Amino acid sequence: MVTLYRRGFNSNWTTLPTIIARYQSTGSPSCTPLWAAMIVVNAPRGDTVDLSFTVHRDDYARALALTGKATAQFAGSTVEGDDRVAKLAVVGSGMRSHAGVAATLFGTLGREGINVRLVSTSEIKISVLVDEGELERAVRALHAAFGLAGVPGS
């Protein structure tokens, strides 16, 4: 996960992701673009706004370096990262018609004391980022909570 914090928020915030995209897609011909997932932009707090995204662990160091380089032109901006996180997703088209999936997900993780670092949702999926050391325990707890404990591979 890479998170950048930009001070001096204004209506031109879109320039930052554009600049990052430019850094990711330029360079030497052997420089392959990064594939970012779980892209989350938070609402401004005061004059600061932040953007977080995940990349495959193999791309982490390059993503952190490129993001740092891209944000260097914005005074007061900082970039942080963590390469020891794991993505966990609850997926299913039935989520559209079954209320309570999010409550079960977050309630279960909360009871287990598992901190959620990032959340991304769609109509049929809730993805959360957790510390990688908590992943197996989170999966087991969620399998039990959703009645999947007897499913092969759980």
Residues 121, 53 share a domain: no
The contacts of residue 24 (CB under 8 Å, 6+ apart) are: 33, 34, 63, 66
Domain that includes residue 94, residue range: 85-145
Do 74 and 111 fall into the same domain? no
**3-class SS at 49?**
strand
Among candidate residues 33, 54, 81, the one where a domain is terminated: 81
Asked, for residue 137, whether it belongs to a domain, the answer is yes
Contact 75, 112 (CB under 8 A): no
Same domain, 22 and 72: yes
Higher-confidence position of 96 and 113:
113
pTM for the model = 0.77
Question: Residues 49-105: pLDDT tens digits?
Answer: 788 888 889 889 988 888 888 777 777 888 899 999 999 999 988 888 888 899 999
Give the span between the Cα atoms of 50 and 132, in whole angstroms: 23
Treating both helix axes as pointing N-terminal to C-terminal, what angle do 101-111 and 135-145 enclose, rounded to 10 degrees? 130
